[in-house]
């Protein structure tokens, strides 16, 4: 498939026109231009540098006919050169200062901006003056000396240590590597190359590397090893949760260096690609065919931005290095971007969903806009320069598990099911079809939510256990529910409840079962209770309209910025979304419509970037006191792929055991088999007895019949097939 040059170029040109209002011509120094705030903080600098690269590529690409736009090619080139010179002159080696009166340079993250702008420097290389080149050399030598002499290599599995640095080790190694190759006469060139190798060896690094005798580029891996940043499963704990996004960011920094070296005609050191294939295999497993990431561990940032954007440079890397055809990912994701820009109508990438940020936080808004412009300019530049034809098919995992995060995942022909305890907004489960990426949202999904009157409400995982089996998994555990940051001065963080969850993906490639229960740990004041909590996104990516068919009828619901009126709809005991996926509950369901984009950036109020319908049971927005030990929520449900008729049949098959000692929910799966999920959410041991089954026989997930009583400890669950 040919790269869709015209689509990419059109998106980039429209953005350059839109972004004229975010350019600032420095009155103190003629010819210097900054994009955005222009401050010396790393996101101010990076935002500017990313925008520069987009302007630079837009100025020289043959795929933009500037006569169709209210700008000339010459003007865009002039702006790009002014932006580059602003970046170079405001560095510690320069003769000017940023808009906040400070200079930038010499910390762990500044070189990221350099890496992300270098394709732009390459694109307009023919237009650089000798002075420009001298300034660029000074910047590289200065940053390389800092990294060589003052910045130690650190690595660690857990974000809480402060040492989890897969992506920054790669980008800092890349800057050292560039300095050595671009300026071979630098006195410390060989030292740059040696430390660069060590940075790369501790980028996508795993625990077993510590003992690896493998020799790469003449050095043993174990001799370069400082620490592991990825678990042996290739899970990443960046920012403290199972973070698919930073697996992508790490790969993207390999891509930036790879294509620069390709342009130099240099054969890269093999260590640069250490564990590239294994990490990509997991990333590709968790990527829809339209390019959208299936973030089973969630996201602490704005939806479908930043890390999602930096998948764009990864795809051509994989084509060029691994020979896997990523053209469908590239084309389809460009179509999704174009869908959003057409809704915006102003050339921006994000103004409809993020428009309020443009005034409330121009630094953040321009950062997000420039991310997307940056990656599109990379893709356009690389595809123009190189032929990246690849025919290999993706190699995906049918199942995956990471013990540390309590992460379980299984895939099928059209089903993806997952559960992650150590998630961004923990915990969260997913059941989604592979043919519609717009149905995926992970914010506390399928785990219920209890909130107090504090401005911060969150769960901390107390315990969890998982069992993987052929075609499915079962997991169970509990969390402590907290409320904090109260209006009352000095009020302490409140431990509100203990919430228990059991979740099972059935081996039918279509269904899941789930149980939820929570009781107050102390006398507590509760603001809202939303059991089940199935998020059904309804925004730009599905044309802001969903058909929810349910036991009480059918509702065409408008979402996104059309969802302005709060509403609660009684749905009965089953709901189906768009004839693709449905949920059947033991208890009555409510469709909760908040009337605003409520999927927020984690920890930031009034930052919603996605609207979702919420399917809940129970649902209460009445504030009230609960006594110690009082039940706050109890839910049991099944979900399955299929039509509304399929969901109705699933609801008709739903049942629970008549046993006060155990929580349970059962249903007939898509395979025609009857499955039961039972869990002990009480204190002490409870017994699951085949005598409770009314004469039916119980078989465990390994196919063996359960003939005697099975003791379940607190937060232990059992999935059985009934015959």
Q: What is the pLDDT of residues 223-263, one digit of tens each?
A: 999 999 999 999 999 999 999 999 999 999 999 999 999 99
Rg, the chain, Cα only: 27
Same domain, 461 and 603: yes
Same domain, 577 and 528: yes
Q: Is residue 540 within 8 Å of 560, Cβ to Cβ? A: yes
Which stretch of 232-236, 395-399, 603-607 has the lowest confidence by average pLDDT? Answer: 603-607
Does a structural domain hold residue 715? no
Same domain, 372 and 462: no
Question: Total structural domains in the chain?
Answer: 2
* Pairwise pLDDT comparison (660 vs 565), residue with the higher score: 565
Does a structural domain hold residue 712? no
Q: Is residue 633 within 8 Å of 450, Cβ to Cβ? A: yes
Q: What is the pLDDT of residue 605?
A: 86
CA nearest 68: which of 18, 19, 13? 13
Same domain, 404 and 380: no
**DSSP assignments along 239-266, one per residue:** GGS--HHHHHHHHHHHHHHHHHHHHHTP
Domain, as residue range, for 192: 5-385
Same domain, 156 and 293: yes
**∠ at Cα 559 (349, 361), nearest 5°?**
40
Read off the pLDDT of residues 328-344 as tens digits, 9 standing for 90 and up. 999 999 999 999 999 99
C-alpha torsion sign, points 120, 248, 208, 149: positive
Q: Give the pLDDT band (50/70/90) at residue 658.
A: confident
Same domain, 133 and 11: yes
Whole-angstrom CA distances from 279 to 205, 219, 221, 276, 282 are 10, 22, 17, 5, 5
> Mean pLDDT across the stretch 188-203?
98
Q: Is residue 585 within 8 Å of 574, Cβ to Cβ? A: yes
Domain CATH for 614:
2.70.98
Strand ranges in 189-284 using DSSP code E only, listed in sequence order? 215-216, 219-220
**What does DSSP assign to residue 231?**
-
Q: What is the pLDDT of residue 389?
A: 85
How far is 188 from 249, CA to CA, in rounded Å? 29
Same domain, 298 and 199: yes
How far is 547 from 448, CA to CA, in rounded Å? 23
| CB atoms inside a 10 Å sphere around CB 692 | 18
| CB atoms inside a 10 Å sphere around CB 82 | 21
- Check whether 661 has a pLDDT greater than 90: no
Does a structural domain hold residue 703? no
Backbone φ and ψ of 404, nearest 5°: -60, -45
Q: Is residue 616 within 8 Å of 589, Cβ to Cβ? A: yes
Q: Give the pLDDT band (50/70/90) at residue 100.
A: very high
CA nearest 558: which of 543, 572, 569, 580? 543
Same domain, 424 and 366: no
Locate 287 and state its tokens.
């990527």
Residue 557's DSSP bridge partners are 546
Domain CATH for 51:
1.50.10
> Mean pLDDT across the stretch 111-124?
98
Same domain, 379 and 403: no
Read off the pLDDT of residues 257-291 as tens digits, 9 standing for 90 and up. 999 999 999 999 999 999 999 999 999 999 999 99
How far is 257 from 182, CA to CA, in rounded Å? 12
Does a structural domain hold residue 720? no
Does a structural domain hold residue 722? no
- Check whether 178 has a pLDDT greater than 70: yes
Instruction: Provide the CA 628 distance to its chain's centre, in angstroms.
Output: 37
For residue 262, with 0-12 CB atoms within 10 Å meaning exposed, 13-18 middle and 19 or more buried, which class applies? middle
> Mean pLDDT across the stretch 459-483?
98
% pLDDT > 70, the chain = 100
Which pTM does this prediction carry?
Answer: 0.97
Same domain, 364 and 427: no
Which three-class secondary structure state does DSSP give residue 39? coil
Backbone φ and ψ of 376, nearest 5°: -65, -35
Among 327, 350, 385, which residue terminates a domain? Answer: 385
For residue 398, with 0-12 CB atoms within 10 Å meaning exposed, 13-18 middle and 19 or more buried, which class applies? exposed
Q: Is residue 340 within 8 Å of 352, Cβ to Cβ? A: yes
> Mean pLDDT across the stretch 203-232?
98
**∠ at Cα 316 (314, 322), nearest 5°?**
90
Same domain, 179 and 303: yes
Q: What is the largest CA-CA distance in the chain?
A: 88
Q: Is residue 168 within 8 Å of 121, Cβ to Cβ? A: no
Among 329, 358, 385, which residue terminates a domain? Answer: 385
Q: What is the pLDDT of residue 659?
A: 84
Q: What is the pLDDT of residue 443?
A: 96
Does a structural domain hold residue 704? no
Same domain, 16 and 70: yes
Whole-angstrom CA distances from 104 to 88, 116, 248, 361 are 10, 16, 26, 21
Backbone φ and ψ of 545, nearest 5°: -155, 130
Q: What is the pLDDT of residue 84?
A: 98
Read off the pLDDT of residues 372-385 as tens digits, 9 standing for 90 and up. 999 999 999 999 99
How far is 38 from 143, CA to CA, in rounded Å? 20
CA nearest 258: which of 88, 378, 111, 110? 378
HEC profile of 363-382? HHHHHHHHHHHHHHHHHHHH
CA nearest 538: which of 566, 557, 564? 557
Read off the pLDDT of residues 86-97 as tens digits, 9 standing for 90 and up. 999 999 999 999
> Mean pLDDT across the stretch 542-549?
98
Q: What is the pLDDT of residue 1?
A: 62
> Mean pLDDT across the stretch 396-400?
98
Q: Is residue 626 within 8 Å of 520, Cβ to Cβ? A: yes
Q: Give the pLDDT band (50/70/90) at residue 539.
A: very high
> In angstroms, how far is the first alpha carbon of the chain from the final one?
50
Among 385, 415, 433, which residue terminates a domain? Answer: 385
Does a structural domain hold residue 234? yes
Which three-class secondary structure state does DSSP give residue 547? strand
Read off the pLDDT of residues 521-537 as tens digits, 9 standing for 90 and up. 999 999 999 999 999 99
- Check whether 363 has a pLDDT greater than 70: yes
> Mean pLDDT across the stretch 401-427?
97
Read off the pLDDT of residues 481-519 as tens digits, 9 standing for 90 and up. 999 999 999 999 999 999 999 999 999 999 999 999 999
How far is 603 from 240, CA to CA, in rounded Å? 14
If you average pLDDT over every residue of the chain, what do you get? 97
Does a structural domain hold residue 595? yes
């Amino acid at each position: 498939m040919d790269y869709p040059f015209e689509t990419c170029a059109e998106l980039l040109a429209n953005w350059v026109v839109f972004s004229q209002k975010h350019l600032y011509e420095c009155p103190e120094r003629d010819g210097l231009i900054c994009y955005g705030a222009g401050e010396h903080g790393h996101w101010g600098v990076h935002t500017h540098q990313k925008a520069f690269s987009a302007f630079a590529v837009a100025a020289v690409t043959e795929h933009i006919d500037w006569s169709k736009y209210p700008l000339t090619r010459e003007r865009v080139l002039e702006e790009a050169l002014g932006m580059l010179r602003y970046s170079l002159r405001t560095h510690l080696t320069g003769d000017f200062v940023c808009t906040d009166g400070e200079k930038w340079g010499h910390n762990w993250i500044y070189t990221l901006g350099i890496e992300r702008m270098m394709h732009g420097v390459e694109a307009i290389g023919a237009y650089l003056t000798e002075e420009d080149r001298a300034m660029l050399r000074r910047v590289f030598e200065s940053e390389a000396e800092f990294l060589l002499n003052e910045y130690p290599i650190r690595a660690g599995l857990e974000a809480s240590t402060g040492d989890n640095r897969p992506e920054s080790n790669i980008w800092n190694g890349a800057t050292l590597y560039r300095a050595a190759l671009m300026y071979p006469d630098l006195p410390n060139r060989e030292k740059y190359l040696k430390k660069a190798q060590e940075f790369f060896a501790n980028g996508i690094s795993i625990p077993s590397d510590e003992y690896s005798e493998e020799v790469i580029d003449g050095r043993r891996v174990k001799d370069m090893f400082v620490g592991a940043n990825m678990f042996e499963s290739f899970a990443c704990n960046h920012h403290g949760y199972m973070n698919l996004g930073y697996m992508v960011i790490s790969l993207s920094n390999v891509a930036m260096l790879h294509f620069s070296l390709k342009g130099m005609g240099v054969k890269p050191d093999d260590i640069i690609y250490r564990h590239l294939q294994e990490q990509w295999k997991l990333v590709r497993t968790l990527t829809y065919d339209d390019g959208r990431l299936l973030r089973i561990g969630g996201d602490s940032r704005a939806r479908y931005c930043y890390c999602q954007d930096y998948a764009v440079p990864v795809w051509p890397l994989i084509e060029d290095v691994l020979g896997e055809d990523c053209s469908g990912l590239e084309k389809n994701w460009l179509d999704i971007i174009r869908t959003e820009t057409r809704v915006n109508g102003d050339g921006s990438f994000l103004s409809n969903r993020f428009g309020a940020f443009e005034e409330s936080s121009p630094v953040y808004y321009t950062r997000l806009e420039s991310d997307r412009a940056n990656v599109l300019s990379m893709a356009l530049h690389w595809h123009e320069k190189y032929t990246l034809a690849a025919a290999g098919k993706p190699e995906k995992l049918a199942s995956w598990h990471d013990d540390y995060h309590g992460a379980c995942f299984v895939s099928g022909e059209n089903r993806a099911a997952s559960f992650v305890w150590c998630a961004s907004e923990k915990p969260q489960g997913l059941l989604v079809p592979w043919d519609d990426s717009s149905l995926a949202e992970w914010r506390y999904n399928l785990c219920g939510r209890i909130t107090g009157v504090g401005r911060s409400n969150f769960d901390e995982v107390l315990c969890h256990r998982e069992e993987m089996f052929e075609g499915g998994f079962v997991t169970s555990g509990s969390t402590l529910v907290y409320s904090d940051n109260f209006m009352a001065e000095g009020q302490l963080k409140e431990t509100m409840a203990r919430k228990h969850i059991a979740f099972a993906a059935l081996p039918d490639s279509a269904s899941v079962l789930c149980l939820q229960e929570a009781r107050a740990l102390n006398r507590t004041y509760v603001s809202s209770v939303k059991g089940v909590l199935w998020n059904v996104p309804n925004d730009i990516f599905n044309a802001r309209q969903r058909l929810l068919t349910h036991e009480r009828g059918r509702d065409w619901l408008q979402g996104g910025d059309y969802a302005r009126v709060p509403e609660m709809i009684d749905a009965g005991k089953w709901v189906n979304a768009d004839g693709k996926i449905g949920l059947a509950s033991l208890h009555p369901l409510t469709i909760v419509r908040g009337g605003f984009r409520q999927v927020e950036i984690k920890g930031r109020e009034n930052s919603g970037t996605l609207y979702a319908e919420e399917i809940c049971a129970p649902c209460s927005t009445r504030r009230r006191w609960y006594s110690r030990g009082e039940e706050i929520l109890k839910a049991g449900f099944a979900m399955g792929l299929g039509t509304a008729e399929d969901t109705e049949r699933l609801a008709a098959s739903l049942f629970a055991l008549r046993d006060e000692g155990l929580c349970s929910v059962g249903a007939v799966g898509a395979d025609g088999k009857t499955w039961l999920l039972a869990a002990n959410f009480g204190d002490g041991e409870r017994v699951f007895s085949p005598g409770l089954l009314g004469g039916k026989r119980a078989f465990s997930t390994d196919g063996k019949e359960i003939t005697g009583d099975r003791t379940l400890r607190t937060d232990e669950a059992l999935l059985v097939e009934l015959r």
